Amino acid sequence: MKKASLLTLAALAFLIASAMPAAGSATQVNASVTVICPFTVGVGARSVYPRYGTVTVNYTASSTGGCALTPLSGTFRVINESTNKVVYSAGVTIPRTGSQTYTSNITFPTSNMTNTIYIANVMFSAGGFSTSGSNTFALVNYADVVIESFSAPSTATVGSTMSFTISLQNTGDTASGPIALNFSISGPRSYNSLLTLSALSPGQESNTVIILNNVTGVVGTYVALAAITYNSYGSTQSSTSSSLSYTVSQPVSSGPQPVINPPSSGGTLPPLLQIPQVNFTYMPLLVSGGRNSTTLSQIGFRNSGNLTEVINLTVDPAYSSLLSLSTDTVNLGPNESVSVQAYFTPGANLPTGVYSIPIYVTARYQGGGTASGTGYLTFSVYSQGGSQPIVASQVALTNNGTVLSGIISIIAPNNQGLRNATLVQWLPLSIAKNISDISVYGLSSNIVIENNSYKISSKIGRLPRSQTIYEYYSIKGPSNPSSLLRSRYAIETLSPESPQEVLRLAGISAPAIVGNTVGTITASVLYTGTSPSNVTFLLVPSPQITVQNETQKALAFPNQLITKQFTITNHPKNGTYILQLYISAAGANLTYGVPVVINPVQPSNPSSGLPYLPLYVRIGVFIVLIIAVIALFKGRAIRQRYSPDRAGTLIRMREQIKRES
């Protein structure tokens, strides 16, 4: 009996010992068995998030066995990639939906997080089944565009052109979207305009000169206000507005005066020259000229009748010092054409502004008959030189009004040239039926419809100081040509993008390599340029180390995190080596030394304790031991205590004792 008890205890001890897993084993024994529908899980996240407020990602479970997803609970974690520290953790679930897919959002705060790279990880595990998914994202600061300065002349004369200068800078860590400038003027006459300026990369500056010829038509005091908005990661950001004031007064001069209510300020266009049976092949609508200089224009005639005409032209004496003609008499035979040159020469002291100069016309026809009338040529006078660029234009009707032609002159300031600049002109939408009727040449340009206007943007690569460059445009079948006198111009100059800001290293991961195993190096950069660019990664191998995919490229968009992984194959068994990593994009180059640590293989310690056996083996062994114990007890019960000879002797002795008694 004592031996049987010991055997039973041994069996129980073996069962308990075999039920315990070996050291280092993560296997778990569950009291109940759950059948899991196999599935995969993925994490959806943007590559970059602003480090303000909260971040929202999602996870999606997808069945791989054609079965409905099993309700499960799991864990969501946010891990700092550089420190491997969990900065946020929460439970997640897959509910019973009867579906083969399930998606849910997870929102977490970023208040305790820094600007670096993180790993969003979701894991589900039950009944021996385990699956997980991860995605990488970076936290950065928003773009932060500020108005550095807003300026304009404090005084102006009636009809003069006004130039407003606004300087912006992006002081944030990422590129902004295109910037909307809400520009308004209040006073005796109001003005409102919404202009779109270029996006800015981190640290980049822009200087925009807005040139308007329709905001000085009435004497008085005006207040100009500038405010900007832009998009950053789906959120609309704004900057503190800036304002200034200026005063418009009547010029004091004994000579010609600008018109009080010039057509460029919203007044009615003065009548053009009209001559019976004469078509105008070239008729100026507006000519700009600098003070103390001569600007040349022309008037083109064609006789559309069958009789010879004699045309006399006379400039109003009050303006004879400003405008002179190459001839005052023109003889036109049938179908004959001729041009008269017009010289506009404003003096050095002439007030700036818009001048409508009357021209008196008399026509005499062969065989008798006379016609007369008054037409006007409109001229705009500007001050030459100064620290701001100048935009001058000539606008004329050609081919008897079927085509409108324009010449724009861009004059660089006398103290500095223009570089990386854009000329923007806004034409009234009513001027043409569609974009295809407008042609632009002379500069690299594009035309779009924006804010109820045709917006023409033309690139100026480099213009030395005090030099002039020209742009030409034409409009077929123009409507309401006088509206061009109220067009707007702007010259936007951008500082170069900073290479240190356009490409920024977000992280490098180079885990140690053990023995002859394959190693990986992961590099991430944040691209914050304002336009798409190819980014090239080059990890230069050393004589002892082979990099399988040493050159990799990717097309990066503004504020995109680009991650590339390199594979280390042939390498020594131990040691530390430095590989050079080169990353480049348009205008930016980065270089980093990446240490590669290779450790030798360490001998493993033999395991101790009983081997781990599967559950069904443990149960089988236990049953065998129990059967053996039971059999042993039964054998003891039926086994004879003495041998047959000894039993017979004992019986005879008992009988003999009875007889003797």
Distance CA 549, CA 509 (A): 16
Do the bridges between strand 278-290 and strand 370-382 make them parallel or antiparallel, or are there none, so unpaired? parallel
pLDDT at position 89, please? 94
Per-residue pLDDT of 532-546, as tens digits, reads 999 999 999 888 888
pLDDT at position 641, please? 52
Do the bridges between strand 129-140 and strand 48-50 make them parallel or antiparallel, or are there none, so unpaired? parallel
pLDDT at position 258, please? 65
pLDDT at position 619, please? 64
CATH of domain 2-139: 2.60.40.2550
CA end-to-end distance (rounded Å), the chain: 39
Q: Where in the chain is the domain with CATH 2.60.40.10?
A: 145-249, 274-492, 499-599
Query: Which tokens belong to 213?
Result: 């010829």
In whole angstroms, how far apart are CA 369 and each of 310, 314, 374?
11, 19, 18
| Burial environment of residue 247 by CB neighbours within 10 A (0 to 12, 13 to 18, 19 or more) | middle
Among 62, 38, 15, which residue's Cα sits nearest to residue 127?
38
pLDDT at position 658, please? 61
| Fold exhibited by the domain 145-249 | Immunoglobulin-like (2.60.40)
pLDDT at position 606, please? 46
Task: Assign 3-class secondary structure to 426-475.
Answer: EEEHHHCCCHHHEEEECCCEEEEEECCEEEEEEEEEEECCCCEEEEEEEE
What does DSSP assign to residue 114? -
Q: Where in the chain is the domain with CATH 2.60.40.2550?
A: 2-139
Distance CA 147, CA 150 (A): 7
Beta carbons within 8 Å of 24's beta carbon, 6+ residues apart: none
pLDDT at position 300, please? 85
Spans of the chain below 50 pLDDT: 1-4, 6-32, 261-267, 605-612
Q: Is the pTM of this model over 0.85?
A: no
pLDDT at position 32, please? 45
CATH superfamily of 274-492: Immunoglobulins (2.60.40.10)
CATH of domain 499-599: 2.60.40.10
